[in-house]
Amino acid sequence: MDIEFFRAYCLAKKGVVACFPFDDKTLVFKVLDKMFALTNLERFPFGVNLKCDPKKALELRELYPESIFPGYHMNKKHWNTIYFEAHHTDEFLKKAIDESYRLVVATFTKKRQQELAAM
């Protein structure tokens, strides 16, 4: 998966916008103003910070120690940095993005979840 496919995949999700809230090189994807994915456009290899269930985050880091690490500049319990240019399939990466999005949406109030569903 390359940066353009990643960007399009994230933006296709309901309620998602892309922005640069920190600087001009950190691309952030938010669902209703809550971050679920971010990447440094100048970092190579291409890596993305994604939210993850804490138990699963540890499992993934053990399974893929060469390409999945505690989230760079993030809460390391809840975020992983995944290097996309490793041996991961597009399906694996899509699932990781989907999980991050789902975890963020799950924190919304019922009102915010209804707002998202109505979009």
**Domain contains 72:** yes
User: Is residue 117 in a domain?
Assistant: no
Mean pLDDT of 54-66: 96
What pLDDT, on a 0 to 100 scale, did the predictor assign at position 44?
Answer: 81
Peptide bond between residue 45 and the one before it cis (omega within 30 degrees of 0): yes
Structural domain span for residue 73 = 3-89+97-107
Q: What is the mean pLDDT of residues 82-94?
A: 88
Task: Write out the DSSP string of 38-107.
Answer: EEETT-SS-EEEEE--HHHHHHHHHH-TTTEEEPTTS-TTTEEEEETTSS--HHHHHHHHHHHHHHHHHT
- CB burial string 85-119: b at 16+ within 10 A, e below: eeebeeebbeebbebbbebbbeebeeebeeebeee
Counting the structural domains of the chain, the total is 1
Report if residue 119 sits inside a domain. no
Mean of the per-residue pLDDT values of the chain: 94
Residue 26 lies in a domain: yes
CATH of the domain at 63: 3.90.1150.30
State pTM to two decimals.
0.93
